[in-house]
Amino acid sequence: MSDQLIECIPNFSEARRSDIVNEIIDSIRVISNIEVLDFHSDVDHNRTVVTFIGPPSAVEEAAFQAVKTASKLIDLDHHTGSHPRLGATDVIPFVPISGVSMEDCVQLCHHLAKRISNELSIPIYLYEEAALKPERKNLERIRKGEYELLKKEIQTNPERKPDFGPTKLTTAGATIIGARNPLIAFNVYLDSDNIQFAKSIAHKIRESSGGLPSVKALGMMVNGLAQVSMNLTNFNQTSIQQVFEAIQAEVSNLNIKIHHSELVGLVPQDALNDTAIRFLKLDDFKEDQILEKHLNIKRPSSENNNSDILEEMASDKPAPGGGSAAAFTGAMAAALVSMVARLTIGRKKYVAVDAQMQEILAQAEKMRYQLTEYVQKDSEAFQKVMTAFKLPKDTAEQELIRLKEIEDSTYEATQVPMQVAQWSVLVLALSERVAALGNINAITDAGSAAALAMASIKSAGYNVKINLSDLADGVTLERMQTQINQIEQRAIKLEQLTLNTIKERGNI
């Protein structure tokens, strides 16, 4: 992973055909240096939201390939769903994470818009920070009337002329591209099948109608229930709890109840902490009172605690070994990144980087949990190799089966530490960002995170290389050798960058 990271959250107009959704997601996953963090499909919306992260060039390529794939597989003339949409790929927001500015994301938007319009003949509209026209900053204004109205007006109404591309729609529709800060997608379901209730509540709470600041809302039907679908563009201005309470007040007036709520995609940890604090009316609450703040990593799926893992590593058993240690160390590095981010968020001195820190925190927590899972996965992969070697080999047929099992299990045992190395490079990149932007009082913690992430990468690399030596497939061996070498080279550069940052900013 690069030290420059951008998050991309494309929305596709398909959720009912899983084969198409999977093909679109696969077109993203195959791009080098891209990590798909999450996806959410809603069959009533008939919409899938994917979240992925990577360096700028890789993110742009992944977005382009996803648009290309969706344009071939989704026909808007035959699309139905409760969520407004203009295209097969409806909207593509880019969010700066680390090493990039909002302006960098804006330039990426413009470049991608030109490429999609030129190569795929899809009209492109730019919104939020990437908008070329002030009236197009608002997504809802661009999407007015949806695909069906745009199809009629794009050729005749000058106000509907796209920013890039033809003034004619194909069945792929149009795509909206923009750059923005992180938001929370939050939906509340009413215990009613009256859509007018949801529309009325959405009208009252959204900012554009004079409601809550930083809240966008629509009323629609989902799973037979009326739903208030929202985007919270700044949870520090209006929290999840405040929105929920506002809707609660409205449903009481209508003599109905809230059925349930849901979050779509990823959400910053602090947004949930804030909600819990507000709901419980905790007085003088401090972050240090959160148990997980005092733990290095999440409890592994094996239900062992940290002391148990260390005891097992110190025993005469071959697993957990170096691969598990690499994952454990990477998780600790991610935990320190989270700590520095939390010590920065909400401080007046660092208000300019608050949004970046919120997103860094969300990503660091995702990485921490993922790396923790690999502590157990590495041991399981090793056990599979040992089991394969013990298979019977008395006949030629048995020997063929045994050799195939050895090859397959060895490949898996190589993949696990490779993934640990990939995640830890990403942690290392975030370490540099919190060192450069975070609370100066925690700069040595950022440096410690970088040192731990580097140790994780080196340890994982050893395990990749020892397993590669047992692979019979020369092509796979060469490809993976190149891959781990590239990861290690990127890590060396990131480590040096972090050291320089700490020396300059921390005067150490």
* CATH number of the domain encompassing residue 432: 1.20.120.680
- Identify the domain boundary among 179, 202, 224: 179
312 and 442 both lie in a single domain: yes
312 and 210 both lie in a single domain: no
In this structure, the strands spanning 89-98 and 175-179 are parallel
Cβ 83 vs Cβ 46: under 8 Å: yes
418 and 452 both lie in a single domain: yes
- Identify the domain boundary among 122, 156, 179: 179
Is there a domain that residue 70 lies in? yes
305, two tokens: 């605690």
78, two tokens: 């035959």
pTM exceeds 0.75 for this model: no
Is there a domain that residue 367 lies in? yes
Burial of 115 (0-12, 13-18, 19+ CB in 10 A): middle
308 and 165 both lie in a single domain: no
116 and 212 both lie in a single domain: no
Is there a domain that residue 222 lies in? yes
314 and 266 both lie in a single domain: no
193 and 160 both lie in a single domain: no
Cβ 414 vs Cβ 473: under 8 Å: no
Q: Which residues contact 236 (CB under 8 A, 6 or more apart)?
A: 346, 354
Q: Which residues contact 282 (CB under 8 A, 6 or more apart)?
A: 276
- Identify the domain boundary among 160, 179, 198: 179
Give the per-residue pLDDT at 253.
Answer: 92
Picking from 420, 415, 411, the residue whose alpha carbon sits closest to that of residue 460 is: 420
364 and 244 both lie in a single domain: no
d(CA 117, CA 174): 10
384, two tokens: 């599979």
317 and 441 both lie in a single domain: yes
Cβ 335 vs Cβ 297: under 8 Å: yes
From first to last of its 508 residues, the chain has per-residue pLDDT tens of 456 899 999 999 999 998 899 899 999 988 888 988 888 888 889 999 999 999 999 999 999 999 999 999 999 999 999 899 999 999 999 998 888 899 999 999 999 999 999 999 999 999 999 999 999 998 989 999 999 999 999 999 999 999 999 999 999 999 999 999 888 889 999 999 999 999 999 999 999 899 999 899 999 998 889 999 998 988 878 989 999 999 999 999 999 999 999 888 777 777 777 777 777 777 666 666 666 555 544 444 434 455 566 777 677 676 677 888 899 999 999 999 999 999 988 888 888 888 888 888 888 888 898 898 888 888 787 777 678 777 888 888 887 887 777 777 777 777 888 889 989 999 999 999 899 999 998 899 999 999 999 999 999 888 888 777 767 667 777 877 888 888 888 889 888 988 898 888 876 6
Give the range of the structural domain holding residue 303, as residue numbers without chain letter: 296-506
Give the per-residue pLDDT at 298.
Answer: 41
Is there a domain that residue 120 lies in? yes
Give the per-residue pLDDT at 322.
Answer: 82
Cβ 239 vs Cβ 274: under 8 Å: yes
Please list the active-site residues. Answer: 83, 378
Task: Please list the alpha-helical segments (H only) found in 390-442.
Answer: 396-437
